[in-house]
Amino acid sequence: MAAPMSWRRLVYSVYTPAITGVFTRISDRLLRARDRRGGSSVLLLAPLLAEADPAPHRVSRPTGSAGAQGTDGLCAHFRWMEEHVPAFRVPGTHIHVLTSPDQFYQAMKARIKTAKRRVVMASLYLGTGQLEQELVDCMEEALQRSQANAHAPDLKVSILLDYTRGSRGQINSRTMLLPLLQRFTSQMRVSLYHTPDLRGLLRLLVPQRFNETIGVQHIKVYLFDDSIIISGANLSDSYFTNRQDRYVLLENCREVADFFSDLVDAVGDVSLQLQPDDSVNMLEGMVHPYKGNRQDFSAAARQRIMEVVNTAHIRQRLTSRSEDSEDEGMSEGEDDTWVFPLVQMKPLGIQVDEQVTQRLLTDAGPDSTVFLTSGYFNLTRAYMRLVLGAGANYRILTASPEVNGFFGAKGVAGAIPAAYIHIARQFYNKVCRLGQQERVHLHEYHRSQWTFHAKGLWYYLQGQDRPCLTLIGSPNFGYRSVHRDLEAQIAIVTENEELQSQLQEEQETLYRRSTEVSDSTFEQPDRHVQLWVKLVTPLIKNFF
């Protein structure tokens, strides 16, 4: 055992994400023949370092005018989405934009306590502090009440987390939830998604601190009976106190809640199931994510997840046709808002969100304005080409170094804010070289003692002073979101003026705390980027 341990310590001491690609290729060459003969517990890994943005499946062009103004033609302008993903009509009055971490936290606690049928929560991880324990206590209280109340005995709690992040350290997400699982075994489910790309030599050698860089469950959905919060925030104390994100609450929207409940169940079905003794296993008949055949796992997972998407899509198209026979366009009554769920899981062959996002950026024409935000500004090459080549005005908001979530981190992670300075400078210089300064603007968010994690976009059509569309959820528009992780967000298209005003206020409030980037920004002493950081920035773009 001495020699293997020596090698492991050596790898730990010099590990950088670059080694990922090396061991990927070693596994590929050594094990390809074995896999062809019937599968292996240690299988191929797709190359992880080379960024490739293959053109997604082409989406047909809309029949409506790209220059639709006001709410006239709003349906026609975005109706193409309904052809490719489920479309849920809801009253705009049922959608509320939450604006602060505390508001997000209190909304979850209140709804967990009053839930009667289901609590479904999907997140990267559950933290281990006092605020997180209070959330767990709320679940315990609801489950206790369910057992004691003959009118609500069927409350089910389902939690979906990432395996690697949720298992990190001796006290972790799993240990936080084990008491509930042990006490309410028949009512409680904890699923831990494990990426199929972390396997073989890679899984053996990558340190625990870095294994989540290979790919994670990144969906953030918090569902209580028929109400749901879609966000980019995790279940951790900073997201409840001083980490700015975005959050939208859909109250009494049963069809939307049913869809995301089914989606989380589907991902849960292809995940490892936490047992009361802290062991994990797969559901019977399901391919193991890192011991089974990589292609077989992805095919089975894709089929299970797309079954949810396709079933909802067919149902909604039938409903839409029935409604359209009586009324063209969006309803003029209460149902003045459409919700389109967008899923991105490229390791499993699912890229719906990427297709829709590219289409939105492609169709953004002159005199339209897109406000786009990401806590980690790292556009894929495809998205960057569309932003720089489109006709719309762009206002892009990202974290200043001091509100970057990695600011002050130890080791390699401490260089991440500087790497994002370098990425921002490269983008800004490209905008200037192309003479796009009047059309594409870059902003930095500032807030003392806070960090910035907001993501999404607000879309203003020509002639409108309020946004009619927003994207909100877990994707960051970066390489990881598109190629590595499981992501989900929603596109909200609304004619409801009150909801449009809420979205406008949300956007303006975030941008109010920003400054616009200029040449002088990068001349400041704290914006100096060391050469070695510039050299490793391509790796950071792919893994962080």
Residues 308 and 377 in one domain: no
In a domain? residue 261: yes
In a domain? residue 61: no
Domain end position, chosen among 295, 322, 349 = 322
In a domain? residue 24: no
Name the strands in the sheet holding 280-281, side by side, starting at the edge strand that comes first in the sequence.
95-98, 247-250, 227-231, 221-224, 118-122, 156-162, 188-193, 272-274, 280-281
Asked whether residue 167 carries a pLDDT value surpassing 90, the answer given is yes
d(CA 228, CA 258): 10
Dihedral Cα 86, 91, 93, 99, nearest 10 deg: 0
Per the CB < 8 A criterion, the answer to whether 207 and 12 are in contact is: yes
| Mean of pLDDT values over 403-417 | 77
Residues 199 and 229 in one domain: yes
Please give the residue range of the domain that contains residue 441: 74-83+336-543
Report residue 374 as tokens: 């990401």
Asked whether residue 116 carries a pLDDT value surpassing 50, the answer given is yes
Active-site entry in 77, 94, 96, 220: 220
Domain end position, chosen among 291, 322, 353 = 322
| Mean of pLDDT values over 285-314 | 97
Asked whether residue 23 carries a pLDDT value surpassing 90, the answer given is no
Residues 173 and 264 in one domain: yes
Predicted pLDDT at 34: 39
Residues 377 and 295 in one domain: no
Phi, psi of 158 (to 5 degrees): -125, 125
Domain end position, chosen among 260, 295, 322 = 322
Per the CB < 8 A criterion, the answer to whether 184 and 143 are in contact is: yes
The more confident residue out of 407 and 218 is 218
Per the CB < 8 A criterion, the answer to whether 217 and 124 are in contact is: yes
Predicted pLDDT at 233: 98
Active-site entry in 77, 94, 218, 422: 218
Q: What is the pLDDT of residues 209-222, one digit of tens each?
A: 889 999 999 999 99
Dihedral of alpha carbons 27, 28, 30, 36, sign: positive
d(CA 402, CA 420): 11
**485 labelled catalytic:** no
Lowest mean pLDDT, pick from 109-113, 146-150, 294-298, 327-331: 327-331
In a domain? residue 278: yes
Instruction: Provide the whole-model pTM.
Output: 0.86
Please report where in the chains the tokens 């860089």 appear, as a residue: 213
Residues 493 and 530 in one domain: yes
Question: pLDDT-based confidence at 323, cuts 50/70/90?
Answer: low
Q: What is the pLDDT of residues 236-265, one digit of tens each?
A: 999 999 999 999 999 999 999 999 999 999
Report the phi/psi class of residue 444: left, alpha or beta, with left for phi > 0 and alpha for psi in -120 to 50.
beta
Per the CB < 8 A criterion, the answer to whether 372 and 396 are in contact is: yes
Using CA atoms, how far residue 474 sits from 77, 229, 238, 313, 442, in Å, is: 25, 12, 17, 21, 21
Lowest mean pLDDT, pick from 7-21, 132-146, 402-416: 7-21
Q: What is the pLDDT of residues 466-488, one digit of tens each?
A: 999 999 999 999 999 999 999 99
In a domain? residue 276: yes
Residues 79 and 170 in one domain: no
Asked whether residue 62 carries a pLDDT value surpassing 70, the answer given is no
Active-site entry in 109, 162, 197, 225: 225
Residues 236 and 268 in one domain: yes
Residues 275 and 355 in one domain: no
Looking at 210-255, which runs of residues are DSSP E strands?
Answer: 221-224, 227-231, 243-244, 247-250
Residues 6+ apart with CB under 8 A from 297: 196, 270, 287, 288, 289
Question: pLDDT-based confidence at 20, cuts 50/70/90?
Answer: very low
**220 labelled catalytic:** yes
| Arithmetic mean of pLDDT over the chain | 86
| CATH number of the domain residue 174 falls in | 3.30.870.10
In a domain? residue 301: yes
Asked whether residue 194 carries a pLDDT value surpassing 50, the answer given is yes
Residues 318 and 421 in one domain: no
In a domain? residue 203: yes
Per the CB < 8 A criterion, the answer to whether 159 and 126 are in contact is: yes
In a domain? residue 60: no
Asked whether residue 163 carries a pLDDT value surpassing 50, the answer given is yes
How many domains does one find in the chain?
Answer: 2
Residues 412 and 343 in one domain: yes
> Which residues does residue 221 pair with via DSSP β-bridges, in sequence order?
122, 230
| Mean of pLDDT values over 503-510 | 98
Per the CB < 8 A criterion, the answer to whether 274 and 170 are in contact is: no
Predicted pLDDT at 326: 55
Percent of the chain with pLDDT over 90: 70
Residues 345 and 238 in one domain: no
**443 labelled catalytic:** no
Residues 165 and 271 in one domain: yes
